[in-house]
Amino acid sequence: MLDVRSIDLSYGASLCLRGVSIAVEPGSITCVLGRNGVGKSSLLRSIMGLETVGGGTVAWEGCDITRMPTAERARAGIGYVPQGREIFPFLTVQENLETALAAAPRGSSVDSEVFDLFPILRQFLRRRGGDLSGGQQQQLAIARALCARPRLLILDEPTEGIQPNVIKDIGRVIAHLAKDRGMGVLLVEQYYEFARGLADRLAIMVRGEVALSGEPAALDEDAVRRLLTV
Ligand SMILES: Nc1ncnc2c1ncn2[C@@H]1O[C@H](COP(=O)(O)OP(=O)(O)O)[C@@H](O)[C@H]1O
Ligand SMILES: [Mg+2]
């Protein structure tokens, strides 16, 4: 459903992505791994149209969206949870969720299913986003993206700075979305264990390039670990 082919991205004179290709299928989880600064977030931002790529193409459900504005990509069914969550601290949980409806089909309301996935949010509906814990904020950010009813969910380091029990909850939700609801998931991570447990495909980035990719079972674990420590 998502087919990224050979994209290049520069920030001024410095090349950030070089010929990066990656694909996501419905009902499957593709995970991009790599050390800090290798270009993972830049890749996701390029897919969302938040950065303008210098070369290559982004195709979504068979259409070339390389030059499509970000808001249209969201309306076309691509949900994005940025690194650092970016929830609105002064809005309540309910209001944060409602901000997603701009990208949802007309007449939509907050999807009550998100409260089945993240029961804590129902309990804290009137609480301000800024008063939630990091893990709760991450759950809110994912729930907000889901309110736009995406067919592809893109997540940038959802486990960053979060307690292990909440990481497990988030992992379960991601697996459920893909396996039971047929959603495509593109996940960026720094933690190999979390990624390997979830992913149908892994891609390991090193300095702006995909250095190794494939099904987790087919990849040499030592080689992966080496690439994550260089
Ligand atoms: N807006 C920007 N302007 C200039 N350089 C940037 C910008 N965003 C990221 N970079 C640089 O691009 C590289 C990749 O960053 P990023 O995509 O955030 O990596 P990652 O998510 O893998 O940690 C880093 O060297 C970073 O400093
Ligand atoms: Mg990043």
Distance 145 CA to ligand 1 centre (A): 23
Ligand 1 neighbour 11 (Cβ under 6 A): yes
- Residue 3 near residue 40, CB atoms below 8 Å: no
Please state, for a pLDDT cut of 70, what percent of the chain lies above it. 100
Burial class (CB in 10 A: 0-12, 13-18, 19+), 32: buried
pLDDT at 66 over 90: yes
Compute φ and ψ for 195, nearest 5 degrees. -65, -45
| 3-class state of residue 131 by DSSP | helix
Q: What is the pLDDT of residues 131-174, one digit of tens each?
A: 999 999 999 999 999 999 999 999 999 999 999 999 999 999 99
Question: Which fold does the domain 2-85+150-229 belong to in CATH?
Answer: Rossmann fold (3.40.50)
pLDDT level of residue 13 (50, 70, 90 thresholds): very high
DSSP 129: G
The span from the CA of 211 to the CA of 176, in Å, is 29
- Does residue 112 carry a pLDDT above 90? no
CA–CA gap between residue 188 and residue 20 (Å, rounded) = 14
- The per-residue pLDDT of the chain, averaged, comes to 95
User: Ligand 1 within 6 A of 37 CB?
Assistant: yes
Question: What is the Å distance from ligand 1's center to 123 Cα?
Answer: 37
Cα R_g (the chain), whole angstroms: 17
Q: How is residue 94 written in tokens?
A: 């309910």
CA distance 147 to 183: 14
pLDDT beyond 80 at 105: no
36 ligand 1 Cβ < 6 A: yes
Q: Where are the beta strands (DSSP E) in the chain?
A: 2-11, 14-24, 29-33, 55-60, 63-64, 78-81, 152-156, 184-189, 201-206, 209-214
Residue 230 has pLDDT above 90, yes or no: no
Q: What angle do CA 156, 185, 35 make, to 5 degrees?
A: 35
Tell me, what DSSP letter sits at residue 82? -
**198: Cα separation from own chain's centroid:** 13
Q: How much helix, strand and coil, in percent to the nearest 5, is found in the chain?
A: 40, 25, 35
Ligand number, closest to the Cα atom of 37: 1
CA-closest residue to ligand 1 atom 6:
11
Minimum CA distance residue for ligand 1 atom 25: 37
Domain-wise residue ranges, the chain: 2-85+150-229
